[in-house]
A and B are shown apart, each in its own frame.
Chain A
């Protein structure tokens, strides 16, 4: 069995979990690549285990969850190990399992999802010959219509979705002996299609090619490809090894769970679990995408193509509601129609869920994601391709705003990111994002008409004029934005008066009490300072942070990481680190009680953003990469590698000294310096 380097700086260890935590271990040890994810379940049947293979964007039906695919990791091990250890090696992208204790040769397995051969997975297992049997190379999930068969010595299995799409896998295995050991090598190729039945041929060809290459070659390819990834993106933070490992884990799972081919439907739990049905929320646009554009711009573009291909559904919805342009759904799956449930259980009663009808900021969030991608990458082709996301969303806001008698523009009856307060008017986040969207859309429309003469016929001047008239609730005297009209008149309850955050305050206090108080779920006004700092008043971060943070329950898993980012930007890096710590533990220690249902992908992305844009202070505006670090006392030095505007950047921060290296020309502004072109290296 190939050895795995158990370097604690690169490996996540999971010992034999108590049965209650088995599903958490499976989530944490998820391996995914090429749009196919496999939970890190043990190979034999184990109490509490929920093996699952999922494919990007392949849903059971129009509004259902992700379709479970054929499973490729099952073995018969009798007796099963009483104790074992799973070791997820982030550096090489392999999951190794070793039996602990017991008599005779221990069970050892090693598996990976190939990042060089999309859809190909491989496993080697060894144990005493009397204990280990290979069994069928593929197992069909119980919960979905499936068929299986043999094809020239290979096993195939197909799972069919009601929508017509499906997942097909073709697997081969070789069973050998080495003295008293039985050795099983298994390779499978997966092909998935959200719309129609995938053919066996491509999966069979991928499998045959992988079998011909051999397990050792596949493993070497995997190791080399992951090394190349870590060479271009990563973190070195030796003074804080726990944070370093957790950030590396975040990067690992982001790389793994976000498909980089075609389109990527990045659900709230990625491909690591069935939770949230694989549905796509603003998490993808505002949290995952800005991370992915610095990690793998191609994956970020695939995420935008998911939205772009559902633009017709967004246009149709706006039309149906009597609006212009495109309104994107709060919760999206296969078709782009809104799949948000209309009601749900809450403490024994059924309550209406209004996010689908009222959380309209998602439309501006999609546009923001497109603009974020464009500012962090280069290339006019993508600008042309993504322009409709900016233009049609701006057109939506142009029809959504209401003008009062004084000419000021309002957005009524919405839910902001703080979902504790529903049906509010003039939510600052929604209004300012709409304002930003109108301006960005106007600029994009102008570029379009420049590129294709006479194309738009859009009155961009009217959009800009409307943007200037949108109220944002800013009070010059206090420097605060009012979260929505009437917010300051609510009960001035602080979260410390209730309990210690993070806490799901709506569960604790009840919806009515929360709705009449100033306690909020997550940053709302402050998200503006995070996403569109150019749209908020200069110097307004600190007064709003001081006001809203004591009122924030952090009852959303999105909240801690973005708050860490904001605290770092406000010059409070030690407070930021304490907040980041909550985010780092969220999945690795299951502080939500729900990691069994899958990783909180947006939190993982938020962690990387907190480090890169919060602590290191990396930003891009006007084609210039700026660095403005705020490191906590516990971090004497920080090294980050990331992608920016087509370049591979290596940033070293040590005390006041900043050094930046690039593999090609890029405009850079270091602290206290004017922007300048850098071809190789610059430092303070």
Chain B
């Protein structure tokens, strides 16, 4: 059986991390393994230790707290070869987190779609309601949009067929910058999780959406490395 790593930190959303890990283990049909500093669950996990555990063949995914982003979360997700869920500090230790709805922002590239394909399948199979979000900007906005009603239907149908071909998936689009819309849509749609494919690059000009989402999201963020990122 595969494992979901739950990395807890003192002062962080320990229960929430465990909660999320438990839910994700249900989705993945896996068990939960607590990871703390030097094997002690009550101390801050060390990024290298989390990564070492995550590299183990049995590990499918890690759940880590968003507290101390620079010390733990960013070092882990930048190097992780497997999905990582970052649990926000705002998700207090209420122990009630449930995964019913997930928001999947897609940028319309094969890379980001590939990154989320397997997870989308697992979430869908687990009965999670999926909403795909695409945000147009000046570079990606369609050139032509003949008729609001018909064009929307044709465009969404084709976008989902190309990038998220699962039954029952809904879609919305917005215009602007992705970072400004992901959180709004997640809140409006009562999403419990935001799943983002990303290239694992945090240098200037990259990962603006991921940074903003991780820093401000009130719900867990699942980061899925793209192949190009690896």
Contact = CB atoms under 8 A, between A and B. Distances in A.
B149 A341 contact: yes
B151 A594 contact: yes
A346 interface: yes
10 contacts: A276-B154, A345-B149, A504-B142, A507-B175, A508-B138, A508-B141, A508-B175, A555-B143, A592-B143, A597-B157
Contacts of B142: 503-504, 507, 592-594
Interface string B160-188: 01110100000011110000000001001
A177 B145 CA distance: 50
A345 B152 contact: yes
A502 interface: yes
Interface of A: 18, 20, 23, 48, 268, 275-277, 279, 281, 340-341, 343-348, 351, 353, 355, 498-499, 501-504, 506-510, 554-558, 586, 591-594, 596-597, 600
A594 B159 CA distance: 9
A508 to B, nearest CB: 5
Given A20-B162, A353-B149, A504-B141, A275 B174 contact: no
| The 9 A-B residue pairs with the shortest CB-CB distance in the complex, in nearest-first order | A344-B149, A504-B145, A597-B154, A341-B149, A502-B143, A20-B162, A275-B154, A557-B144, A344-B148
A593 B146 contact: no
Contact of B174 (A20, A347, A504, A597): A347
A351 B185 CA distance: 18
Contacts of B147: 276, 281, 355
Q: Which of A18, A23, A341, A508 has the most CB of B within 10 A?
A: A508
A618 to B, nearest CB: 28
B138 A499 contact: yes
Nearest to B185: A348
B149 A594 contact: no
A558 B146 CA distance: 8
Nearest to A348: B172
Contact of A597 (B145, B158, B185): B158
B136 A277 contact: no
A358 to B, nearest CB: 13
A268 B149 CA distance: 14
Contact of A277 (B141, B150, B152, B165): B150
A491 to B, nearest CB: 18
B110 interface: yes
Contacts of B151: 594
Contacts of B165: 48
B131 to A, nearest CB: 11
Given A498-B138, A554-B144, 18 more contacts: A20-B163, A275-B150, A276-B147, A276-B150, A340-B149, A348-B172, A348-B173, A355-B147, A501-B143, A508-B136, A509-B175, A556-B144, A557-B146, A591-B143, A592-B142, A593-B142, A593-B159, A594-B144
A558 B145 CA distance: 10
A630 B145 CA distance: 31
Contacts of B138: 498-499, 508
Given A348-B173, A597-B158, A503 B143 contact: yes
Nearest to B142: A504
Contacts of B146: 268, 556-558, 600
Contacts of A594: 142, 144, 151, 154-155, 158
Interface string B77-115: 000000000000000000000000000000000100000
Nearest to A602: B146
